Chains A and B, each alone.
Chain A
Amino acid sequence: DAEITQSPRHKITETGRQVTLACHQTWNHNNMFWYRQDLGHGLRLIHYSYGVQDTNKGEVSDGYSVSRSNTEDLPLTLESAASSQTSVYFCASSATGNQPQHFGDGTRLSIL
């Protein structure tokens, strides 16, 4: 069965370090998304991609970057981790158009 997997599931790091969260999908979807989820907020879009070599900023993109070198993967990089980036991060994918998004199980990131 097709799936979307995130790794690691949990990570603790220090402020100032570079961190990369992995997202891999086997749906062969063109669209991929990164969200963060914090208490008191809904899911907020960080970056998204419509296909290979395409990336776009979401509503909370500062301090984050993504790259899309193939269909399956959209890694999320925190260039210099800050405590405000402590959150649960979700990756999602969807086919083109108005199709539902499929989500991974999330990465819980703590920045000390």
Chain B
Amino acid sequence: DAKTTQPNSMESNEEEPVHLPCNHSTISGTDYIHWYRQLPSQGPEYVIHGLTSNVNNRMASLAIAEDRKSSTLILHRATLRDAAVYYCILTPNAGNNRKLIWGLGTSLAVNP
């Protein structure tokens, strides 16, 4: 099962953009890239996902490298509520997503 590599922690200032990187060099051609985040004392929350093309939603943007071996989650204007652990996960396209492999994610601190 393909795994992902993320920095342990990152820091940002409020109202500035944040770029959270993820490496997934062993990604297969059919794996989706999912991002979740986990706020303190809560369960993980879905943020965004994509396959090949860049994706945007109300929470964030996902930029996927052309070779798909890395991706970047972009928070356009960080707020204090965005302080969380962010997980990058590969999801097999075939069948159900039972084989999610959760790493330790990136702990994002947002300074006022």
Contacts and interface: CB of A to CB of B under 8 A. Distances in A.
A102 B46 contact: yes
Contact of A98 (B32, B41, B44, B102): B32
A45 B45 contact: no
Given A98-B32, A98-B93, A45 B98 contact: yes
Nearest to B94: A98
Chain A residues touching B, range = 20 to 34
Contacts, number: 58
Contact of A105 (B32, B34, B43, B102): B43
Contacts of A56: 98
Interface residues of B, number: 23
A92 interface: yes
Contacts of A104: 43
B43 A42 contact: no
SS of B interface (majority): loop
A106 B97 contact: no
A106 B98 contact: no
SS of A interface (majority): loop
B91 interface: yes
Scoring B34, B44, B87, B104 by chain A CB atoms within 10 A of each residue's CB, the highest score goes to: B44
Interface of B: 32, 34, 36, 41-46, 49, 87, 91-93, 96-98, 100-105
26 contacts: A31-B96, A31-B97, A33-B98, A35-B102, A40-B104, A42-B101, A42-B103, A43-B100, A44-B102, A45-B100, A48-B98, A90-B44, A92-B43, A94-B96, A94-B97, A97-B96, A98-B32, A98-B49, A98-B91, A98-B93, A98-B97, A99-B97, A100-B46, A101-B36, A102-B46, A106-B43
Interface of A: 31, 33, 35, 40-45, 48, 50, 56, 58, 90, 92, 94, 96-106
